[in-house]
Every structure is written in C-alpha cells, then in structure tokens.
Amino acid sequence: MQTMKIGNNEIVLLGTAMPPELPEGSHVMTATIDLPPGDPGTPPHRHSGPVFGYLLEGEMIFELEGEPERVIRAGEAFWEPGGDVIHYRSANNLSDRVTKFLVVMVCAPGQEMLVLVSPEELAQRKDRRSTRPN
C-alpha cells in the first residue's frame, strides 16, 4: 500500500486500475453486500461495466475469467473490468462469520448491472477459466 499526505489528511492508496472508457449515459451504483457464513455468492455472471470493491469485513474467494482464484481479506481492494469477462466467484471464505464488502458498479446505458451466465456458455468458455485449487 502507498500512502500520501494532503494537508492534514493521510490517504492510503489501495489499488489503481485503468477501466475502459465509459459510454455516454452510463450510471454508477454504490452498494454494500453481506455474504452469510459459508455463502457461495452469486452464480457465475458478468457486469455491464467495471466494478470497484473494498472488503470491509471477513474474507472473500474471488475469481474472474482468466485469473486464478484468490482470497481477498478485510482492508483489501479489488476490481473487475466488466463487459465480456465472467465473474465466477465471490464467495464467503469463512464458515463462522459474515463477509461484507462495498462495491461501486458502473452500468452501461440500457443494460442490466448483473446478468447470470448460462451453463451452455460456461461449457463453451471453460478453456478461459484458470486452473482451480483442490
């Protein structure tokens, strides 16, 4: 993490990303999401635009198409590009506590913020998924 000082305020940089250009008419949604203990999260899906997140409490198993599954812990930031990329997992990694995160989602004009991916499409794109731990 990188820190910087502006006036009397200390700013802690959690991460940076270069999102795609946003189409005119896009809108932004900010939400908190609570995952009950052991919750598998939303089934495989995609977002119409980029998503930026920050884990407030707990641990989340996070997996995007083309990237290895990883655990994000409280105090860490994450992002996904949205568009055609499948978001496979955002599961609670803890069996005894809630995991809570904050997301800022950019929604493309006239599109749903989240669309589930069909089993047929998952099968067609299975070669794009990274090897998963046992």
Percentage of residues in the chain with pLDDT exceeding 70? 96
Range 45-64 average pLDDT: 96
Going by the DSSP 8-state scheme, the letter that residue 8 receives in this structure is T
Range 88-112 average pLDDT: 94
| 10 domain-assigned | no
| 49 domain-assigned | yes
Instruction: For residue 57, count other CB atoms closer than 10 A to its CB.
Output: 16
| 92 domain-assigned | yes
| 132 domain-assigned | no
Task: Please state the pTM of the whole predicted model.
Answer: 0.83
Choice among 2-11, 79-88, 100-109, 124-133 with the minimum mean pLDDT: 2-11
| 122 domain-assigned | no
Q: What are phi and psi of 122, to 5 degrees?
A: -60, -40
The predicted pLDDT at position 1 comes to 66
What DSSP string describes 42-108?
SPSEEESS-EEEEEEESEEEEEETTS--EEEETT-EEEE--TT--EEEEEE--SSS-EEEEEEEEE-
> The CATH number of the domain where 104 resides is what?
2.60.120.10
pLDDT at 133 over 80: no
The predicted pLDDT at position 127 comes to 92
pLDDT at 130 over 90: no
Contact 47, 38 (CB under 8 A): no
Residue 58's domain comprises 23-117
